[in-house]
Amino acid sequence: MKANGLLRSFGLLIAAGAVTLSACSREQWHRAPSPDDVIAAVPWFAVMKRSIAVAPYRNVAPRPPVPGTVPVDGSEPPLPITRDNLPRIDRLVNPVQRTSESIERGRDRYQIYCQVCHGPEGHGDGPVVPKFFPPPDLTAQQARSYTDGYIYTIIRHGRGIMPAYGDKIRGEDRWHLVNYIRVLQGASR
């Protein structure tokens, strides 16, 4: 639409509004469109009304925290999976006993964060799989051979194309997850 046309249609709208409103009882006044809606009906004037919304899933999911974010429960020095870190990772000791409470908590976290890719029983057949790279079977020999510390670290820092979940799954919850994965592995022996 040219600016002239725009101005004309805007003028018409205002005029129509004025006519309607002048012939209104108090009741009708409240039912009349607000000037804000009338003005926003003209695309040219709607820029303030139709603002640019935040699109949280546009770039990456899960969304990582802003660099430098410090967790409220304190931070733990990073220990990502690298060749040099492997001995330290494998020496991490699981401080959480595999009690039924721990397994329950692990199952709960698993269903929220992991099942979507790794599948309900860990076989790498979650609902995203037809569209996403198939994740490894967590009950296969490979994952069975990992130390608890290594699985804990994959959860915390991610590995390859598996995203890091350390900012979402914190502290003991990572060990509860390790305990639950051991149960999945035992179940499919």
Q: Can you give the binding site for ligand HEC, defined by CB under 6 A? A: 113-114, 116-118, 133, 135-136, 138, 142-143, 151, 154-155, 159-163, 165, 169, 177
Residue (39 or 166) nearer to ligand HEC, CB: 166
Residue with tokens 């004025």: 18
Residue (39 or 149) nearer to ligand HEC, CB: 149
Q: At its nearest, how many Å lie between ligand HEC and the CB of residue 57?
A: 13
Q: CA 78, CA 95: separation in Å to the nearest integer?
A: 18
Q: CA 107, CA 84: separation in Å to the nearest integer?
A: 32
41-51 burial, b if ≥16 CB within 10 A, otherwise e? ebeeeeeeeee
Q: At its nearest, how many Å lie between ligand HEC and the CB of residue 118?
A: 5
Q: Angle at CA 141, nearest 5°, toward 155 and 102? A: 45
In Å, how far from its chain's centre is CA 92?
A: 28
Q: At its nearest, how many Å lie between ligand HEC and the CB of residue 141?
A: 9
Residue (8 or 159) nearer to ligand HEC, CB: 159
Q: At its nearest, how many Å lie between ligand HEC and the CB of residue 62?
A: 8
Residue (79 or 162) nearer to ligand HEC, CB: 162
Indicate the residue type of 14: I
Judge contact between 14 and 38, C-beta under 8 A: yes
Residue (28 or 111) nearer to ligand HEC, CB: 111
**Strand partners of residue 162:** 159
Q: At its nearest, how many Å lie between ligand HEC and the CB of residue 122?
A: 8
